[in-house]
Structure 1
Amino acid sequence: MRAAIGVIAAFAVAVAGVVSLVLLDSDAQATGSAGGLTGVPDEFRPWILRASHACQHPELAPALLAAQLQQESGFSTSSSLVSPAGAQGPAQFMPATWDTWGRDDDGNGTISPYDVGDAVMAQGRMMCSLIGHAKESGLGGDARSLALAGYNAGWGAVEAAGGIPPYPETQHYVATILSSMKKFEGALLAVSGSKKGVGALRRASSQIGTPYSWGGGSPNGPTPGFCDGTNGYLNGRCSASVTAGWDCSSLVQYAYWTSRQLPRTAADQYRATSERSISRDQLRVGDLLFWSHGGTSGIYHVALYAGNSTVLHAPRTGKDVQLAPLASAMPAGEYYGATRP
């Protein structure tokens, strides 16, 4: 971070756990752990996960924070690390910006940009706020890119430019971090086994974190969608047309495409698989779950059963492909039934 940033509006945070499942052919074993991150020094790992989990915006993935730390300092813990511009510590905070975001998160009695816990949690708070600004700004595009640009150049520069500022350093900063995220991504859903449903869930799990896009997605991967007058809008703008991603049924179609070529919409997917209706107490990994506003023609959502009373799905505009509890993934009273492709 090379420039100080002004005071940014406070944000509310929701603490959420990360679910990591190991699914076997028996569909009987599942263990919880803090997955979703790999390739970082041990002393950074718990703080990166905590900072990510404390943010209400799913865009702030652990891998994004890790890639940013790699770019800022290479995970340096040197007590003398200061950039030519005066930025300090592993997350490279300017002193004035540190005064806004720094706290004694590690409980050692000091608030220091050189303490790993303090630095990473402050990085997470600032990035979470910037992502929120990006999503509310009406600028469009990738909220992560705009937030990273704000971290590097200041949010005022992003607003003035109407997007990523035309500074070579900032453009390189954003591109490098986004392109290096992959090497830090650990499995949020580790799936093993050979059954058709397990294979479908494994394929779908590779898309965790990909944005929802109404009408987007194909058997070949995520694509931009479209707006139909009602769906696909975010903050009054057509988000789907500029967002490469999935809607609920395209994700399911993609998941099963190599073993069964399901139709495109949730209602049609139910009709195509309804000959194998499954009760909730008989669910297996990869089964399809449906929600309806009334009858087969009212089916509006489909998800993949992920074991342990969780589902993997693309929920709605503004959200990403994610794991969620079955009981709260969609309105409980609108649950319609399950099938096994």
Structure 2
Amino acid sequence: MKVVVRTVAVVAAVILLAVVGLVSLVLSDDDAEATELAAGGGGLQGVPSEFRSWILKADAACDQPAMTPALLAAQLYQESKFKTSRAEATSSAGAEGPAQFMPATFATWGRDDDGNGSTSAWDIGDAVMAQGRMMCSLLKTAKASGLPGDIRRLALAGYNAGWGRVLEFGGVPDEDWAGGETHHYVEIIMTTMKRFEGPGLLHVSGSGTGAKALRKAATQMDTPYAWGGGGPQGPSTGFCDGTNGYLNGTCSASSTVGFDCSSLVQYAYWPDTKLPRTAAAQYGATANRPVARADLKPGDLLFWSRGGTSAIYHVALYAGDGRVLHAPRTGRTVSLAPLTSAMPESDYVGATRP
């Protein structure tokens, strides 16, 4: 899912010669004028730093619009108050970890998402990603069920009581069932979501294809970098090629859902402008429309190379105020950076307008 940044202008997204990408929230195609998302537009606030990146990642991995970082955060707060110790996050019924999974349920949804060699409901990354997968599945089920009511409420009830109970009651179980546990669980989370909704993602001036692409790319702020990952449909796991995609000697890309520089750009412009996959190919496809540095507009593509236009290795989106929006490298996330330091200044080749 989805990210948070406030700025008053255009954004540039940088892309490496391989694929770069990550998916999340997509703004309306009709968003042509300067737009600033209100609270609840995908932002996140008020969560412990060790949970933040995982909540955003879990949200980005779900293709259901009803999923938001604030929903996951409010649910985690209700489940455990973000506690991670066995003394504080073990329920009388045997639920474990910050997302309060019963062992049998975690066996279904849990993965070694943090790459530490074990799959554990006590690991923040594993727990939050499992929570996200289960909630995403429940949101899909609720949407397809035809049951009346907010599908978020139905999914939360399914998480707490099991989907069978939701079907039995034709919605959220009644307040007099099980001492009102599920009923109050749903109501509390829906109410406390507001406290975790961060500011809007971006304020972009202007209209047209470039501004629209920038707005879309900005929804992917904080999405992890994954070499070879991502594409028109959003973020995905990447791969390692013997040189790229490694972090501390380990192939990070194959277990990271995200974008690389060029996949982020491709995602931003798709489907209005179907750019090719790599940074070099994107330059080739747009080189006949060069843009001087003094004339940059939101959404323009910026390129870097270590050997002329035949060796372009990175692409980014211009974001206004001398900044770019890009997916920098393995271990980093989609973010804003000064144009002058996003990549070595001596490697800057120029800009084009798709």
Please state how far the C-alpha of 1:231 moved relative to its aligned partner: 0.4
Does the alignment pair 1:162 with 2:118?
A: yes
Query: Partner residue of 1:21?
Result: 7
CA distance in 1, matches of 2:235, 2:341: 25
Q: What are the within-5 Å matches in structure 2 for residues 1-341 of structure 1?
A: 19-23=5-9, 38=40, 48=46, 52=49, 67-68=72-73, 71-73=76-78, 141-143=112-114, 162-165=118-121, 175-176=130-131, 184=197, 186-191=199-204, 193-341=206-354
The amino acid of 2:236's aligned partner reads T
Higher relative contact order (CA 8 A, sep 6+): 2
1:306 Cα shift? Answer: 0.8
Question: One-letter code of the match for 1:142?
Answer: D
Distance 1:185 1:273, change over 3 A: same
Kindly provide the amino acid, as one letter, of the partner of residue 201 in structure 1. L
Counterpart in the other structure of 1:155: none
Please state how far the C-alpha of 1:72 moved relative to its aligned partner: 3.0
Q: CA separation in 2, counterparts of 1:92 and 1:165? A: 12
Distance 1:176 1:240, change over 3 A: closer
After superposition, the Cα gap between the structure-2 partners of 1:276 and 1:245, relative to the gap in structure 1 and judged at 3 Å, is same
| Contact 1:314/1:321 (8 A) holds in 2 | yes
In structure 2, distance between residues paired with 1:173 and 1:197: 34
SS for the counterpart of 2:287 is helix
Structure 1 vs Structure 2 CA RMSD: 4.4
Secondary structure of 1:210 counterpart = coil
Q: Secondary structure at the match of 1:285?
A: coil
- TM-score (ref. length: structure 2): 0.54
Q: SS in structure 1 opposite 2:294?
A: helix
Compared CA separation, residues 229 and 175, structure 1 to 2 (3 A): closer
CA separation in 2, counterparts of 1:37 and 1:328?
Answer: 31
**1:187 deviation in Å?**
2.8
Q: For residue 71 of structure 1, what is the amino acid of its counterpart? A: L
**Conserved? CA contact 2:299–2:318, under 8 Å:** yes
What SS does the corresponding residue of 2:288 show, helix, strand or coil?
helix
| 1:308 partner letter | D
3-state SS, counterpart of residue 270 of structure 1: helix
Letter in 1 for 2:120: I
State the Cα deviation string for residues 254-310 of structure 1 (Å, max 9, x = none). Answer: 111222111111111111111121111111000000011010111100000011111
Tell me if the contact between 2:324 and 2:338 (Cα under 8 Å) persists in the aligned partners: yes
Structure 2 residue identity aligned to 1:162: S
In the alignment, the residues of structure 1 paired with residue 353 and residue 344 of structure 2 have an alpha-carbon distance, to the nearest angstrom, of 22
Q: 1:66 to 1:326 in 2, by over 3 A?
A: farther
Give the Cα separation in 2 of the matches to 1:266 and 1:250: 9
- Bigger drift between 271-280 and 177-186 goes to 177-186
Identity among equivalent pairs (%): 50
Distance 2:230 2:239 in 1: 11
Contact map agreement 2:35 2:203 (CA 8 A) in 1: no
Structure 1 residue 248, shift from structure 2 partner:
0.6
Change (3 A) 1:329 1:142: farther
Q: Aligned equivalents of 2:264 and 2:348: distance in 1?
A: 19
Structure 1: unaligned runs, 5 residues or longer: 1-17, 75-86, 98-126, 128-139, 147-158
Runs of 5+ in structure 2 lacking a partner? 11-31, 57-67, 89-97, 99-110, 137-192
Deviation string 1:222-257 (CA, Å, 9 cap, x unpaired) is 222211100011121211122222111111111112
Q: Which amino acid aligns with 2:119?
A: G
Q: 1:164 corresponds to which letter in structure 2?
A: S
> In 2 relative to 1, CA 307–241 (structure 1 residues): closer, same or farther, beyond 3 Å?
same
TM-score normalised over the length of structure 1: 0.56
Contact (CA 8 Å) 1:287, 1:305: kept in 2 or not?
yes
Equivalent residues of 2:225, 2:330 under 8 A apart: yes
- Alpha-carbon shift at residue 163 of structure 1 (Å): 2.7
C-alpha offsets along residues 13-52 of structure 1, whole Å, 9 cap, x if unaligned?
Answer: xxxxx7412448xx9x999xxx99649xxxx96xx38x75
Cα deviation 1:39-93 (Å, max 9, x = unaligned): 9xxxx96xx38x75xx8x96686x969954653359xxxxxxxxxxxx9xx6659
Q: Is the 8 A contact 1:21 1:30 kept in 2?
A: no
**Number of residue pairs the alignment of both structures matches:** 238
Check the 8 A contact 2:55/2:73 in 1, yes or no.
no
Cα separation, 1, equivalents of 2:72 and 2:234: 24
